[in-house]
Amino acid sequence: MEKKYDTGLMWFRRDLRAFDNAALYHALRACRQLHCVFILDTDILDALPRADRRVEFILAALDELDAALCRLAPHGGHGGLIWRLGSARQEIPELAHALHAQAVFANHDDEPPAMARDAQVRGALAGMGAALLTSKDQAIFERGEVLTQAGTPYSVFTPYKAAWLKKVDAFYLSSYPVARHAEALAPRPEGDRRPVPSLADIGFEPTNLAELKIPLGASGGQQLFEEFFDRMDQYHLARDYPAVKGPSYLGVHLRFGTVSIRQLASSAQQLTAQGMQGPAVWLSELIWRDFYMQILAHFPHAAESAFKPEYDAVKWERGKHADALFAAWCEGRTGYPLVDAAMAQINQSGYMHNRLRMVTASFLTKHLGLDWRWGEAYFAEKLNDFDMSANNGGWQWAASTGCDAQPYFRIFNPVTQSERFDAEGKFIRRYLPQLANLPPPLLHAPWKASAIELAAAGIELGRDYPHPVVDHAEARERTLARYAVVKKPLAGKKTTAKRR
């Protein structure tokens, strides 16, 4: 195959692996020599707290990526990753110019801020006669690949999933053979033959990431997937219980591309074809990920306002009392143990179990009456696996403002959720040790305990654990009234709903 470009630049972003990488594969095939770069983008970094697990995760992934590129390169130690600290809007055009690159290759990122950045980079490159060429890599189907028969984007998941499953085949799930074309990897310029920077080098501080023992880099992603593969057949039974090792824990690896979505979906599909229910349910979760990505691509307004514009009429609580309630939610002081334990989990680890993401989001919006955007922003700051489309989709689902969302009158009862999904209280005891001596019936609702029972457990409400900040039944009635501006109950029809 004749090479189209003499020199190219591969721009890694949220695809931090040297295998099965679409843009890297296309760049290697198109260029006689290819340089690889990662920009530690100050437009993003400057908005983060100085101790951020995601930055630490990225640096560890870059170390592995650098080593992998060196192994692939025909010139060994002179290969590897160029890195820059600065604004990608400036650094990419400047580096492309310095290297005399005719094309910059990258994988799609459809988040609105990333789209704006890419448009600016594309314009700057065009001004110097170079191109920005992007590829699909982080989804099986994206943008307009799965549409209704009328050619419009889906806004309901079930028909989208059916169309997704109908369209998917071996072509969409096959990997890109990067190593086969690695001879095009160019030696780094002498001034760029330096190791990946440390946290201190870029003005950040260590976190507790090492204590959490999260497997890092592409090797860590592969390790987690292999562990999950052996229990994927039980996923449908275990996934809702936060004290059970049920999820894949691959969220952060999917977010930063240290695993291949094609490998994951292909494995799940093959096991599903054998009639296994667990892989089928997990595959459905991967399809949800594609679904939310294409929603944000087609409806970028959802990043800042309700997907359903009529829900912008909902009046959320404001003022000092609302601020106090939000602080109690953030700090795990609501008086509802499952909610507080979940918030302790995210605050301590940057991870929250998926069932608990729904419970805590529902509690914020439908018990406290607070704007879903407050919670969305808090999760965006805290989650290791923060992904704008999934985070936005999940919060709008819980608040009933999004596409295919739960009905506005469906309000999770946090006590019922606790009794059902943490019946023995193992999860609550782990994150709220002050409640450890309460027996399960009372552990889920300490305010129901008698003075004698509380004393026997060594607990004084208001001192060792807070009283509930709201009453469930009263909060439910306020929520139904709050949403009445959008959905009027049908005459003669009760608005009660089955609680889960």
Torsion of CA 443, 424, 385, 49, to 10 degrees: 30
- Is 268 in contact with 288 (CB distance < 8 Å)? no
Residue 282 falls in the annotated catalytic set: no
**Residue 174: strand, helix, or coil:** coil
**Phi–psi pair at 382, nearest 5 degrees:** -95, -35
3-state SS class at 103? strand
Question: Would you state the structure tokens that stand for residue 410, as one six-digit string?
Answer: 């469906």
374 is catalytic: no
- Type of residue numbered 467: H
**Contact of 229 with 252, CB cutoff 8 Å:** no
Q: Are 347 and 382 in contact (CB under 8 A)?
A: yes
Q: Which of 164, 372, 374, 397 is catalytic?
A: 372
| 436, two tokens | 């450890």
For 230, the token pair is 């052996």
Q: State the catalytic residue, choosing from 11, 83, 282, 288.
A: 288
Is 395 among the residues known to form the active site? Answer: yes
Q: Which residue has the tokens 């009445």?
A: 484
Alpha-carbon span 331 to 43, nearest angstrom: 28
Q: Pick the catalytic residue from 183, 285, 381, 419.
A: 285
- Tokens at 366, concatenated: 């439908």
Is 9 in contact with 105 (CB distance < 8 Å)?
yes
C-alpha to C-alpha distance for 5 and 9, rounded to whole angstroms: 10
Phi, psi of 298 (to 5 degrees): -85, -30
286 C-beta neighbours (distance < 10 Å), count: 20
Active site residue 372: yes
- Residue of 145, 354, 447, 453 marked catalytic: 354
Which is the catalytic residue, given 83, 164, 282, 395? 395
Q: Is 397 a catalytic residue?
A: no
Catalytic residues, by residue number, are 285, 288, 316, 354, 372, 395
